[in-house]
Amino acid sequence: MPSPEANPLRAGLVDERLPEPCSIVIFGASGDLTKRKLIPALYTLAVEGLLAPSMAIVGFARKDSSDEAFRAEMKEACQKFARHRPLDEAVWETFAKGLFYQVGDYDDAASYQKLKARLAEIDLARGINGNRVFYLSTPPSNFPVTIAQLGAAGLVSRDGQKPFRRVIIEKPFGTDLATARQLNRDVLKVLDEASVYRIDHYLGKETVQNLMVLRFANGLFEPLWNSRYVDHVQITGAESLGIEGRGGYFEQAGILRDMVQNHLFQVLAITAMEPPVSMASDDLRDEKVKVLKALRPIPEGRFDEFVVRGQYREGTIAGRRQISYQDEPGVTKGSKRESYVAMKIFIDNWRWAGVPFYLRSAKAMPKKVTEVALVFREAPLRLFGERASQGQSPNVLAIRIQPDEGVSLRFGAKVPGNTMEIQPVNMEFRYGTSFGSEPPEAYERLLLDCMLGDQALFTRGDEVEASWKWVSRIHQAWDASTGDVESYEAGTWGPAEGDRLLLRDGHRWRRP
């Protein structure tokens, strides 16, 4: 890749992405996310020249620590987790001067007054004009109290004026429709929607953004992107690991809350939405909300026809033994919590009428993969005869979101020789080989967008509620059901019932 300096057009694009100096306060800064993702992402932005050198980052948590200790800990974290390694000592030195730590309690008004005074001090010393981003990176039970205290301390307000005051809220945003609505009410008591940045880190993934580029920057695909040509759509979000000792969390969440309501529904919305009138935040989010509102509710009493839940038992994944879900630490014996879910969804709008969207997500699958696949209708006539077409399969456009990011197009080709035989072949685009560089981490993009005031890749309040509205009915049906969860062997693609969901319609899951 040419450096930005060598390519004036690119250099211009970088300049456009330079945010104004601000202070970022991270609540829950003693936690895992700060260490693994947030600080390494901010450091990477500094390496790429996308942070003002006067920026400040203030870690806030109950754990006792100091500026010096926090800097040392974060240096180690960046050495381990930042995208650009080894660490650039010169960049680190400047970056570390802007790192601070503030001990405080999330529900203690005096802690916020101290924070306010500290921020004023830092502003003065570093020449920041009061711009602030507050990042809520604590467990979600702390979100309401933190937001209320930020409001009470006058650290945020609803006027949306300059200097900017923005709040990033980590996932999960609620655990059902009622809790999501309540959290939205809590948030909007002290902030206007334009200052709220609800994170779904999938939206920060390069390939999810490329899904929009593929659709709307090319003339080729969009004419085919509808019920006339698409037979069905498959969206897969598979993990090859089990729940990794996180029984306490997973027993509450399950894969439907952990993956589907947020990440896969975002992928679904971007796959299915109409072209927005512009890429401005609300234009884009309006279109996603329309898709979520058009999801056909599953008819009462017929959930089993549309949704399959499963739980892994012992098995082998890529040569590694995986214990059963029931034996995982923190799991209640006899738990029906789903580690697999598959569902059939219809979108009742003009573009997608009658086209099933099949979604599945699971732990303990044979491999880690997230992809969207559009499976196209067959050509109207088998012109080459039944025998020639025996090996043929439908055209598929598959967008791999992770890993091995890229796009593949499967179509039929003539097998070389003097007979007429058709076999499927693939045309491949791979990020790695085409651009020779790794895609950035989702958190880099999202933190930068927030500093720039671009909400396009953050979920809006009505969007979160629309997805919970649809998903919560499944939880209610499961809670009321006496039916069992299907069992599947770890290291397989899920229970037979999940396969039958598609087989009943004459389809098969892809084996990505």
Ligand X SMILES: NC(=O)c1ccc[n+]([C@@H]2O[C@H](COP(=O)([O-])OP(=O)(O)OC[C@H]3O[C@@H](n4cnc5c(N)ncnc54)[C@H](OP(=O)(O)O)[C@@H]3O)[C@@H](O)[C@H]2O)c1
Residue 436 to residue 105: CA distance in whole angstroms:
46
Helices H / strands E in the chain, number of each: 18, 17
Number of neighbours of residue 374 by Cβ within 10 angstroms: 22
Which of 44, 111, 131, 137 binds ligand X (CB under 6 A)? It is: 137
Residue 5 to residue 90: CA distance in whole angstroms:
19
Q: Pick the catalytic residue: 201, 232, 263, 507? A: 263
Does 62 participate in binding ligand X (rule CB under 6 A)?
Answer: yes
Which of 32, 192, 274, 327 binds ligand X (CB under 6 A)? It is: 32
Going by C-alpha positions, the residue among 238, 200, 214, 203 that lies closest to residue 406 is: 214
Does 170 participate in binding ligand X (rule CB under 6 A)?
Answer: yes
Sign of torsion over alpha carbons 428, 432, 436, 439: positive
Which of 139, 248, 275, 483 binds ligand X (CB under 6 A)? It is: 139
Stretch that binds ligand X, among 139-147, 368-376, 384-392, 407-415 (CB under 6 A): 139-147
Residue 136 to residue 131: CA distance in whole angstroms:
17
Q: How far is the CB of 458 from ligand X (least distance, A)?
A: 14
Nearer to ligand X, 34 or 322 (CB): 34
Nearer to ligand X, 50 or 259 (CB): 259
Nearer to ligand X, 200 or 328 (CB): 200
**Which string of b and e fits 456-480 if b means at least 16 CB within 10 Å?**
bbbbbbbbbbbbbbbbbbbbebbee
| Cα distance between the two ends of the chain | 30
The amino acid occupying position 322 is: Q
Does 368 participate in binding ligand X (rule CB under 6 A)?
Answer: no
Nearer to ligand X, 33 or 148 (CB): 33
Which of 22, 46, 56, 61 binds ligand X (CB under 6 A)? It is: 61
Judged by CB under 6 A, the number of residues near ligand X is 17
Does 508 participate in binding ligand X (rule CB under 6 A)?
Answer: no
Which of 23, 24, 25, 28 binds ligand X (CB under 6 A)? It is: 28
Cα 194 to Cα 26, 173, 454: the distances in Å are: 20, 17, 9
Q: How far is the CB of 176 from ligand X (least distance, A)?
A: 16
Q: How far is the CB of 169 from ligand X (least distance, A)?
A: 9
Cα 500 to Cα 94, 244, 245, 338, 373: the distances in Å are: 58, 29, 31, 18, 19
Closest CB to ligand X: residue number: 31
Which of 79, 142, 226, 389 binds ligand X (CB under 6 A)? It is: 142
Please indicate whether residue 263 is annotated as part of the active site: yes
Which of 23, 30, 195, 311 binds ligand X (CB under 6 A)? It is: 30
Residue 294 to residue 466: CA distance in whole angstroms:
10
Stretch that binds ligand X, among 119-127, 133-141, 389-397, 463-471 (CB under 6 A): 133-141
Ranges within 33-52 binding ligand X (CB under 6 A): 33-34
Which of 31, 412, 495, 512 binds ligand X (CB under 6 A)? It is: 31
Which of 20, 87, 114, 140 binds ligand X (CB under 6 A)? It is: 140
Q: Which two tokens stand for residue 458?
A: 């953050």
Q: What is the DSSP letter of 222?
A: G
Residue 365 to residue 241: CA distance in whole angstroms:
7
Does 491 participate in binding ligand X (rule CB under 6 A)?
Answer: no
Nearer to ligand X, 28 or 512 (CB): 28
Which of 165, 171, 263, 337 binds ligand X (CB under 6 A)? It is: 171
Nearer to ligand X, 103 or 409 (CB): 103
Q: How far is the CB of 446 from ligand X (least distance, A)?
A: 12
Check: CB of residue 408 under 8 Å from CB of residue 395.
no
Nearer to ligand X, 204 or 406 (CB): 204
Stretch that binds ligand X, among 58-66, 123-131, 151-159, 381-389 (CB under 6 A): 58-66
Calculate the CA dihedral of residues 92, 93, 94, 95 and round it to 10 degrees: 40
Q: Which two tokens stand for residue 273?
A: 């939405």
Which single residue is written with the structure tokens 């019932």?
Answer: 497
Q: What is the CA angle 263-249-404, rounded to 5? A: 35
Stretch that binds ligand X, among 26-34, 221-229, 352-360, 475-483 (CB under 6 A): 26-34
Which positions lie near ligand X, rule CB under 6 A?
28, 30-34, 61-63, 137-142, 170-171
Catalytic residue set: 263
